Amino acid sequence: MTNYHFINSDSISFENLRTIIHTNMLLKLSDEAIDNIKKCRLYLDEKIKNNHQPIYGINTGFGSLCNVKIDNKNLRKLQENLVKSHACGTGEEVPQDIVKLMLLLKIQSLSYGHSGVQLETVLRLIDFYNNNIIPIVFTQGSLGASGDLAPLAHLSLPLFGEGNVHYKGKKVTGKSILKKFEWSKIKLKSKEGLALLNGTQFMTAYGVHLVLKSYKLSYLADLIGTLSLEAFDGRISPFKDLIHKIRPHYGQLKTAKRIKEFLQESEIIHQSKEHVQDPYSFRCIPQVHGASKDAFEYVKKVFTTEINSVTDNPNIFIEEDEIISGGNFHGQPLALALDFLAIALAELGNISERRIFQLVSGLRGLPPFLVKNPGLNSGFMIPQYTAASIVNQNKQLANPCSTDSIVSSNGQEDHVSMGANSATKAKRIVDNLETILAIELLNASQALHFRLPLKTSPFLESILKSFRDEVDFIENDKILSTEIEKTKLFIKHLVIDNEEIFS
């Protein structure tokens, strides 16, 4: 039986999106959405027929050409020209899973009935989504204001047989995909090109992808950090409820509670300790990881609002009989959130690298560089270098884009968010963090071997057992980049359900 998600006016949550993505649900318009789209288009057609005044984006030029009136007979050509002229993206291709999210989010935004598109246009976007026809979009070109113009232009080109798409592992032209499915070109009507191009779906798709990964990586940072705590023979006292109840930040409380749950029935954590306290990278895990969690909650809230919003321009209000040109395409809320996300993610990597450093330093009964014959073997000396190098890059990438603005469109668009660049660099930080956490897991699992016969908790032992099925304990020097890649794959494939991630 086909599993559908029906597009309607109900809010989509991150939990919904994760389910849609992971269960490969198909999209379908609800009767409500169909009615909204049809009514809005009919209203706009009547408005154009009976009104000879200039209405921005409908019978005028765009940007600084907003005062140029376009004859009604040229409105269709105007929209197609708009899409073609704005398709000037460059750089790397956007990952296909993010482009697919762009399709979903654009469909959702157009379905509310404030954009004036044809029903046929939205249905074709749904056809692309459901058949895994993924337009080729590029990472560079959007200023994150006036919407994500260049990326959304590339997303839209295949509607009328232009541009290129990925289909079944191959790159094919927009023209050939229409021929294969025996689809006619979409003939864009007035306002449609602008409705497709104005919007924040590039930034929002990145944001959704990154928030979902951030919550998983936050869980993994707690999990791997706890393994490192055990490997370093750390103390349980910094995770006790009393200390966190007198400074009750949500993320701090959540982190301490989670780590205590991870440590239930551990032999190592409850053995007597010679040391009075641990370094900050262990002792302050609740405070540091927790602060990042609080940042993720803020970012999640911003993107939940954006997912369920209309972000093109102008917007059509049938009941009020108004067409209003405003600025819902401006990405400033997303740019700030994405820059905050980048900083919060970079900090998880920063503290992880410090734990890696402590584990290889020959402290607390662990051999230098976590190898049995140090000197002959360099052991885990250089993975810490690698982690430090990546952390350094993350610190550079964490510098905000949203504090910059470059005037465009001949001065008409005189403040832009640069949120698209915030998005793409935040993704690089996420990818880097995955590598740093993989290196920490590799180190912690190696170090825990030297704690035998004492064991950690049954839960953590089960994680270690699964990990050892993929990555062996290292007796003598070997090529460690291979082991890091194996560990990254283990992290990627580790299944964590919605409740554990979002609770």
The first and second tokens of residue 254, run together, are 């959540």
| Residue 51 φ/ψ, nearest 5 degrees | -130, 125
| 3-state secondary structure labels for all residues of 132-144 | CCEECCEEECCCC
The first and second tokens of residue 376, run together, are 């002959």
Residue type for position 204: T
Using alpha carbons, select from 480, 443, 471 the residue that is nearest to residue 363: 443
The first and second tokens of residue 447, run together, are 């170090």
Using alpha carbons, select from 395, 498, 503, 488 the residue that is nearest to residue 442: 488
Taking the CA atoms of residue 358, residue 364, residue 369 and residue 372 in that order, the dihedral angle to the nearest 10 degrees is: -160
Sign of CA dihedral 372, 484, 355, 496: negative
User: Tokens 């039986």 sit at which residue?
Assistant: 1
With H, G, I as helix, E, B as strand and everything else as coil, classify residue 74. Answer: helix
d(CA 463, CA 474): 18
| Residue 436 φ/ψ, nearest 5 degrees | -60, -45
Catalytic residues: 56
DSSP string over 11-65: PPPHHHHHHHHHTTPEEEE-HHHHHHHHHHHHHHHHHHHH--S--TTTSB-SGGG
d(CA 24, CA 32): 23
Q: Burial of 156 by CB count in 10 Å (0-12 exposed, 13-18 middle, 19+ buried)?
A: buried
- Do 214 and 427 meet the contact criterion of CB atoms below 8 Å apart? no
With H, G, I as helix, E, B as strand and everything else as coil, classify residue 338. Answer: helix
User: Helix %, strand %, coil % for the chain, to 5?
Assistant: 60, 5, 35
Rg of the chain on CA atoms, in Å: 26
Terminal Cα distance for the chain, rounded: 30
Pairing of strands 164-167, 315-317: unpaired
Q: How many CB atoms lie within 10 A of CB 338?
A: 34
